[in-house]
A and B are shown apart, each in its own frame.
Chain A
Amino acid sequence: MESILSFFNEQLIMLYLLIFTVILGFEVISKVPTVLHTPLMSGANAVSGVVIIGAILLVRQASSGDTLQLCLGTLGVILGMVNVIGGFAVTDRMLEMFKKKKK
């Protein structure tokens, strides 16, 4: 019990951030028109590639002899980077096609 309480206190700022971001996220995104559902999903998907930051930190923090950590971290960097670059590029390609009627 004590360890849970101390964990709660340690992570208090993160908890605030978490809750406010949840509220902000729902506010910002809830009014998306049907036309943009696919780009929103693939754009959001690219943002979830932010997990790559953890992978970069993992590799940087590893000692150069720790092959297991280096391999796991680099695998993470590759996976995250495919998600980031692929996600943003494909969303851009899609949005490029959305245009108003030329008169």
Chain B
Amino acid sequence: MLVSSIVNLAYLIGAIAFVWGLRLLSSPDSARRGNVLAGIGMGIAIIATLSTPLAEGDNNYLWIMVGLLIGGITGWIAAKKIQMTAMPQMVSVFNGLGGACATVLALAELTRFYDGVQVMSTGQLSIALFTLLIGAISFTGSMLAFGKLDGMIKDKHVILPRHGLINLVLLIAVLVMSVWLAIQGSAAGLVLALVFLILALIYGFSFVAPIGGADMPVVISLLNSFTGLSAAAAGLIYGNQIMLVGGILVGAAGTILTVLMCQAMNRSLFNVIVGGFGSASLSGGAGTDGDQVAKVATVNDAAIQMFYANSVMFVPGYGLAVAQAQKTVKELDDLLEANGVDVKYAIHPVAGRMPGHMNVLLAEADVPYPKLLDLDDANAALKDTDTVVIVGANDVVNPAALDDASSPIYGMPVLEVWNAKNIIVLKRSMSAGYAGIQNPLFFHERNRMLFGDAKDSIQKLVTEVKNM
């Protein structure tokens, strides 16, 4: 009695630690403590689970210890070795494993049910099937997202003709089968339950397949919330409160981020899932530029504009991360600051490949976070900025989003860089952005293009500024 009371108290403390930890995670000053607190909560919950008295079973502690050890060491090494640019991939993998864990639990439960070892009510069976489904979708979906983010899998390799229709059919099939299995009860048998599992695994893969590029932050957030839901559902199977609380909190976090990412692109979740920008977008927004010619800047011009400015704002895009130019930008930042230039960074919510990715990359380069402005603050500050430098960003600084109703990105909130006194765009070539549309900003009268690899160009700027 005493032991089980202590275990219950430990679960309660663990759940409070999760809630409080996530709360602390929402402010930069306390975030690290919040993460540690949530980790402690997890430790308490695991120890409590190991020591809770059970009515049945042989404990099998050796199996558990081996599992904890293998998983713990693997996770630790992976977390320590990963590059910050590869963070989205890593998070996807971890997320997928969480979903897989929930699926395995549901599968174990279902095998006992179909073998007649265990009785389940229709409600319990429905929850087990739901856990199996969501966990499986999260697993294969996250693994494909990992492959895509890592560049191992290209979008064109996995997109089938009429993929939207295939997904719809698969979704209906999975849903109908889950209802049917729940109604049939034990009469359905394990084989059909395994067919259901395979269908769910295929659907998870297929539903992520057509989503790519700039939509990745949305899909990662969504998969994160799925894993949370699957953990919560597994909590219902075991009647375990802390699993429910932890899972729901993750589901909420994932849902909030999904909504934020969709808002940042002015697209509905449905629109993201059903199809990317599609072929129609290629024609949209044309005709605005015609034969205009963009003005080109030399490295020297650009360096002078930055060096003698009162304020400079960098707008980093994924191109900066690809070129691994964060540290070089920071070097330039330091040189300018030493000359009394006020340097800031404008971060669009969907810059990078997962929510907030650009902030992490700049933090890694030792840029203090108060210098990173979000969309609203940046737009307010841009009016008083002398020189804005756009590094590897394109669609998020496209004025067509505000004034060209025919543009596919019309309505998307963008950084209004044209309010600054001078604009410098660092870019490889005049090619279009992810959305495949032309950017009228490049032809703006106050804009100058500095062509070349982002890192290379910034390195030249550093050298130039040093000589001033």
Contacts and interface: CB of A to CB of B under 8 A. Distances in A.
Given A34-B356, A35-B369, A89-B79, A46 B94 contact: yes
**B interface residue count range (under 10 / 10 to 19 / 20 to 34 / 35 or more):** 35 or more
Contacts of B70: 78, 81
Contact of B22 (A28, A86, A88, A92): A28
Nearest to B84: A94
**A interface residue count range (under 10 / 10 to 19 / 20 to 34 / 35 or more):** 35 or more
Contacts of A11: 123, 236
Contacts of A29: 22, 26, 249, 252-253, 256
Given A3-B123, A74-B67, A37 B356 contact: yes
Given A50-B242, A55-B104, A18 B59 contact: no
Given A44-B224, A77-B71, A98-B363, A14 B105 contact: no
A47 interface: yes
A51 B38 contact: no
B221 A68 contact: no
Interface string B58-80: 11110110111011101110111
A32 B220 CA distance: 17
Q: Which of A32, A44, A50, A72 counts the most chain B CB atoms within 10 A?
A: A50
B241 interface: yes
Contacts of B54: 57, 60-61
Interface in A32-90: 32-64, 68-70, 72-90
Given A38-B354, A59-B60, A82-B97, A4 B246 contact: no
The dominant DSSP class at the B interface is helix
Given A21-B248, A41-B91, A56-B50, A72 B253 contact: no
A83 B64 contact: no
A77 to B, nearest CB: 3
A81 B325 CA distance: 34
Contacts of A48: 95, 98, 224, 227-228, 231, 246-247, 250
B76 A60 contact: no
A84 B43 CA distance: 10
A52 B41 CA distance: 13
B359 interface: yes
Contact of B357 (A17, A38, A99): A38
Given A75-B67, A78-B70, 17 more contacts: A3-B123, A6-B121, A21-B245, A35-B374, A38-B91, A40-B257, A42-B90, A47-B22, A54-B235, A63-B58, A74-B67, A81-B68, A82-B75, A83-B75, A89-B75, A98-B369, A100-B370
Q: Report the 3 A-B pairs with minimum CB-CB distance, sorted nearest first.
A: A81-B71, A37-B356, A25-B252
Interface of A: 3-4, 6-8, 10-11, 14, 17-18, 21-22, 24-26, 28-64, 68-70, 72-102
